[in-house]
Amino acid sequence: MTIRFATLDDIPRMANYWREVEQPRFRHIPFDEARFSAMMRRMIESKGTHCLFLSEDGEQYPRGVLAGKIDQYYFSSKPIAQLILYWVDPGHRSGPMALKLMMAFRQWAENRNAAELVVGVTSGEDIERTDRFLKKIGFRMTGGNYAMPLSNPGDKASSADGVAA
């Protein structure tokens, strides 16, 4: 198993793999390969502010992906490292791959003087196991993620106009 930065040549293979991944939480949202590929390209080409790590097995097949970025809170100019995407093949989640991907992200963030790593769990999969894993490696829970599927998201206004607070 190897952990490495993704390259532009990896994008078609990652898109094919991602299309096949079963993600029940996102079943109602169609996969857009062009958008996925463009986002992966931007992350690969923005090495100073973004990272995209791949974990491969002996056959050089992607078994884990971690994407992150350097960002800032709205109240400070100190950089933080924020997780964008973290996925490990179910057959490898109990092995060292999950930890090695996160440690690569940590090292990348430390090299950019980030004040902290920020991780959100939005997959809806193995939430308790993910919680145990993150706490074991030094994270602490600071809140939660919530989602509400909408019947016709494309028809909704993109702003909060007309929504009572």
Task: Give the whole-angstrom CA distance, residue 19 versus residue 40.
Answer: 14
pLDDT value of residue 159: 44
pLDDT value of residue 158: 44
Contact between 86 and 55 under an 8 Å Cβ cutoff? The reply is no
pLDDT value of residue 2: 87
pLDDT value of residue 80: 97
Place of tokens 């100073």: 48
pLDDT value of residue 52: 96
Q: Say how many CA atoms lie within 13 Å of 157 toward its Cβ.
A: 5
- Helix or strand holding residue 154 (H, E): none
Contact between 56 and 13 under an 8 Å Cβ cutoff? The reply is no
Q: Tell how strand 117-118 and strand 79-88 pair up.
A: parallel
- Helix or strand holding residue 144 (H, E): none
pLDDT value of residue 153: 55
Residue ranges of the domains in the chain?
Answer: 2-138
Tens digit of pLDDT at every position of the chain (165 positions): 789 999 999 999 888 878 777 677 788 888 899 999 999 999 999 988 999 999 987 766 678 899 999 999 999 999 999 999 998 888 777 778 889 999 999 999 999 999 999 999 888 888 888 899 999 999 999 998 888 888 875 554 444 445 554
N-term to C-term CA, the chain: 49
pLDDT value of residue 154: 58
The CATH number of 2-138 is 3.40.630.30
Q: Tell how strand 79-88 and strand 62-72 pair up.
A: antiparallel
What is the token pair recorded at 50?
Answer: 């973004």
Task: Give the whole-angstrom CA distance, residue 55 versus residue 122.
Answer: 21
pLDDT value of residue 157: 47
Mean pLDDT of the chain, nearest integer = 86
List all residues 6 or more positions away from 146 whose beta carbon is below 8 Å from its beta carbon: none
pLDDT value of residue 45: 96
The residue among 59, 66, 62 whose CA lies nearest residue 87 is: 66
Task: Give the whole-angstrom CA distance, residue 29 versus residue 154.
Answer: 11
pLDDT value of residue 26: 82
